[in-house]
Structure 1
């Protein structure tokens, strides 16, 4: 499920979105924001996507942050900048920050073999003498595949009596009972170690570690576990201390019991039915819960870091985070689609062919996009509380993105 948004719908709209010259003249900034707001309000009335939030961000502040539609349709609760939801694979960018912070602290080095920190062996059976290194995981070149097993073992409902579970079952989603979920460490060992109960050679690529890009949620979760072992702190505590608290992202957290759950949006299936509350065993790869206000602060910090003025990391740490480490030949040709954040990679930081920096994410009931344009020095965030369908993509998602890009083009 993770990061499936661009793989599934980018062929429909991303080429047009990023390459069309809309021909907008320079406009008054306030008028441009009013036009953006008016367009987003009109789009929200279509109702296929129940609720969403949009933010425009500079390195210094959040310029614009508004919610549209409903966070809870049944109780008539609107979606606002304070509405909380999980943001899917955009969460992986925090793994990148955590790795660089741990390196600054002298706890690890990106070039270290991951075996230096683990309590169990992780060896590609097709290249047993080639160590998997930390930076391999961070650039999705570690040779670890998700397989169907990832989804069957990673997601679990918080209440197995939740009526929304029937919606998931009808969509053939395999969600675990809270009684049967594993810990992150146990999940990774079962999946990747020869001694693990889910181990299979097919969990690995037949490619040398570091040689070939293949997006891996399991590899991302493993990188977060390396942070845990290297620093001696659980990943959620490490990131809460060195990222969330440091940026005053006080509304955000990695679990329902760490946030104000009353402000969490209901999440909806693509046909508009409420989904049950769920979480991830592999929470570092997609489980951060946040809102537009906190999310905007985070994106502002990333932009500052890009310009070597960030506060979470030293300048050279940010330089390493944003270093594009892959070559075009390392990417598989999939339908000729190059217009997504997998075009090149820093340390869990995506780059598009036109130079946008950021990440996308999707999970049941959510879509999240976070990108900035280094030349324009503006970023944008989009959070949806509804799974997309071809209909909602065409009638709402594409128009939302076009409205955002109309505003951005007006600032050039």
Structure 2
């Protein structure tokens, strides 16, 4: 009987190593979930990257242009949209460790003009409120045509709740965070992203500004009516969106955030604001934790594409899923795909 299991193993798998079998299981799980997603005809393509125990698996499906059968590949550039905020969070975490900023700082000490409106009943907006969507700032800046008008618009904001007490998603706050980081480091924000994140992690395909060749491989996405949508036109610093990346670079970004020896990573994952029994906001990361799981995640949605980027530190797993479709339910649908994919690969 003791020889039965090895004999059965080799009968089924031949001379394949355990690593090869695990990789095949991950590939099968990706294929299964991707094809199920594409059964919904509102979706046209999907790229999925999985990092499990240091081994990466990337697969692409569908077509980038309806009717062209041109499926994405490892060089395809996607807009990361709000997943860009996690880059802002990482640099903010570094700034805290570098003692350039403090989470308890009143943000007005970093601004050139006076903003008496940046408080509620004497409680000022602090750095920690900017990075956890608890500042009371509106979702979109009152003015965003350029950086000068951005600051003009800030004067129009009225804070109606005590900062730090209520979560309200804000695209205004991360842009102001990016400006503050630019000011304390005395370098353009785009340069900070490159210096602190992209270069150290060899993320050579991730960038804000695109050259002529980059634009030919940038995804042009659709809405649910199969109408071609425009790409995002960045007019501010890029704290909320504007980064473009590939699946291969996102695997490198997974490796960064799975590195428990990195103090900046650990700081960026620190729980700052609790919402509900098992949900926290960190440095632009959403953290879900209970007795059975720990998840760091962020969603990104723009006019013609959406993505989820998820880290499971206890299982040493990262998942990125990107599609060239964007409509109201896309994020929820992709979230379910990620959850199902995680269950499929974690049992192997």
Structure 2 residue matching 1:255: 3-state secondary structure: coil
CA drift at 1:289: 0.7
Determine which of 27, 43, 53 is the counterpart of 2:47.
Answer: 53
Moved more, 399-408 or 220-229: 399-408
Checking the alignment, whether the CA contact within 8 Å between 2:257 and 2:311 is kept in structure 1 is: no
* 1:233 Cα deviation after fit: 1.0
1:308-360 Cα offsets, whole Å, 9 max, x none, are x23xxxx2x333222212234xx6xxxxxx89xxx311111211255311211
Find out whether 1:131 has 2:124 as its counterpart. yes
Matches within 5 A, 1:105-144: 105-124=98-117, 127=120, 129-144=122-137
- SS of the aligned residue for 2:123 comes to coil
Choose from 178, 200, 203 the match for 1:246. Answer: 200
Q: 1:209 to 1:259 in 2, by over 3 A?
A: farther
CA contact (8 A) 2:139 2:168 kept: no
Select 1:321's aligned residue among 259, 265, 268: 268
Give the unaligned 5+ runs of structure 1: 1-26, 155-180, 194-198, 332-337
Which 5+ residue runs of structure 2 have no aligned equivalent?
Answer: 1-19
Cα 1:122/1:239, change in 2 over 3 Å:
farther
Question: Structure 1 pair 81/386, CA: closer, same or farther in 2 (3 Å)?
Answer: same
Whether contact under 8 Å (2:104, 2:126) holds in the other structure is: yes
- Which residue of the partner structure matches residue 8 of structure 2? none
Q: Which residue of 2 aligns with 1:190?
A: 152
The residue aligned with 2:184 is 230
TM-score of the superposed pair, with normalisation by structure 1: 0.71
Q: Larger deviation: 32-41 or 280-289?
A: 32-41
Q: Tell me the residue number matched to 1:6.
A: none
Please report how far the alpha carbon of residue 408 of structure 1 lies from its aligned counterpart in structure 2 after TM superposition.
2.8
Within 2, Cα distance between the matches of 1:232 and 1:117? 12
The equivalent of 2:286 in structure 1 is 350
By relative contact order (CA 8 Å, sep 6+), the higher-ranking structure is 1
Report the counterpart of residue 385 of structure 1 in structure 2: 324
Contact persistence 1:50–1:272 (CA under 8 A): no
Normalising by structure 2, report the TM-score.
0.83
**Mapping of residues 7-22 of structure 1, within 5 Å:** none
Figure out how many residues of one structure are paired with residues of the other and give that number.
324
Which of 296, 300, 313 pairs up with 1:361? 300
- State how far apart, in whole Å, the 1-side matches of 2:347 and 2:252 are: 23
Change (3 A) 1:320 1:276: closer
Residue aligned with 2:124, SS: coil
Cα distance in 1 for partners of 2:336, 2:95 equals 41
In the TM superposition, what is the alpha-carbon distance from 1:399 to its structure 2 partner? 6.9
Runs of 4+ displaced beyond 6 Å:
none
Residue 404 (str. 1) matches residue 341 (str. 2)? yes
Q: Indicate the structure (1 or 2) with the bigger Cα radius of gyration.
A: 2
